[in-house]
Amino acid sequence: MTKIGIEFVQPPRVMRRFNRLLWLFTNIIALKPSIIYAHSVLPSLYVRLVTWWSNIPVVSVLHDASQDDYANRIYRWPEQYLLRVPAAVVTVAPEAAVNYMRRTKYQGMTLTIPNGVPMDEIRRHSVNRSKVRNSVFKLYDDFVPVVLQVGRINPEKAQLKTLLALESLALRGKFSGRLVYVGLWEDDEYVAQLTNAIQKSPLRDNIQLFAPRTDIYDLLAAADIYTMPSVSEAFSVAFIEALASGITVVGADIAAFQFARSLPGVNLYTEAGEDSYASTFDDVLAANPVRFERVLGKYDITNTVKSYSELTEILVNWHVDAL
């Protein structure tokens, strides 16, 4: 990051409460920022506590999967009565902004800025398909379907649900492909459940479970179906990356994915029946998954950068004018 002019500062160890506040206070004094973006509830709370003495604009960026970051009363009380008001509030979905204003009575500037991804870079990785299928998936032809699921290994991401759905198809002779999981092993108990289920699964020889990787764009190019059976999401970068890659998508019919419902190759299943997830896989596999061209300009990282740059310019100029 230093090569492109970004200074990165982090605590030397995990800190709690007072030490965290002291570290923030010391570094804000040293860095003299023109503006501060605080991502999520606690960072926003801490930053505004240690900058109570200044008029540095602080922007709260909210992206809880519930779209209701301040549902907890413990956070609402300081937000309403103790902390200075944020210069602006950025959300990744309009619902989150509505909920924030309803919970806190905030009447200031709110903006919805969708997460963006590098569209062109993701698409360039398509040339690596055969190489990655060989080196990572250990497949030496293009006929074995690969189902890819990326995300933290926890109940909300529902990796077990994917395993059970594909198992049910395999037992009926409708799936003989590969299942690949990639993600941070966040919930030890759930990871244990998943690994135990994999060991007992009839698909066990065709399942790969990876820790976080840096070659996700290559994996998207090499896989055939990307799946996301999440219980909830705020605005998933992983989902946008999958859409940009052109891969066939199978996802839960949740609010966060509704914007993609009408895009080609996107298949959202409902919870109307126990087998709805498996049935959606069955339909997709029967049709032979292909790649799709999707118009996603709104979610290009360049638009995200532009939106944040414009907001920064507005707030910094207001700050200077107020001095």
| DSSP SS3 for 147 | strand
Residues of the chain with CATH 3.40.50.2000: 2-114+301-322, 119-299
pLDDT by 10s per residue, the chain, length 323 = 677 788 888 998 988 888 999 999 999 999 999 999 999 999 999 999 999 888 899 999 998 878 889 999 999 999 988 888 999 999 988 889 999 999 999 999 999 998 899 999 999 999 999 999 999 999 988 899 999 999 999 999 999 999 999 999 999 999 999 999 999 998 899 999 999 999 999 999 999 999 999 999 999 999 999 999 999 887 889 999 999 999 999 999 998 899 999 999 999 998 755 589 999 999 999 999 999 999 998 899 999 999 999 999 999 998 655 54
Over the range 144-173, which residues count as b (16 or more CB within 10 Å of their CB) and which as e? ebbbbbbbebbeebbbbbbbebbbbbbeee
pLDDT at residue 161, as a whole number: 95
2-114+301-322 CATH pick, 3.40.50.10800, 2.60.120.260, 3.30.1380.10, 3.40.50.2000: 3.40.50.2000
- Quote the CA–CA distance of 77 and 114 in Å, as a whole number: 28
pLDDT at residue 81, as a whole number: 85
Q: What is the CATH number of domain 119-299?
A: 3.40.50.2000
pLDDT at residue 323, as a whole number: 47
pLDDT at residue 243, as a whole number: 97
| DSSP SS3 for 230 | coil
pLDDT at residue 115, as a whole number: 87
pLDDT at residue 60, as a whole number: 96
pLDDT at residue 141, as a whole number: 85
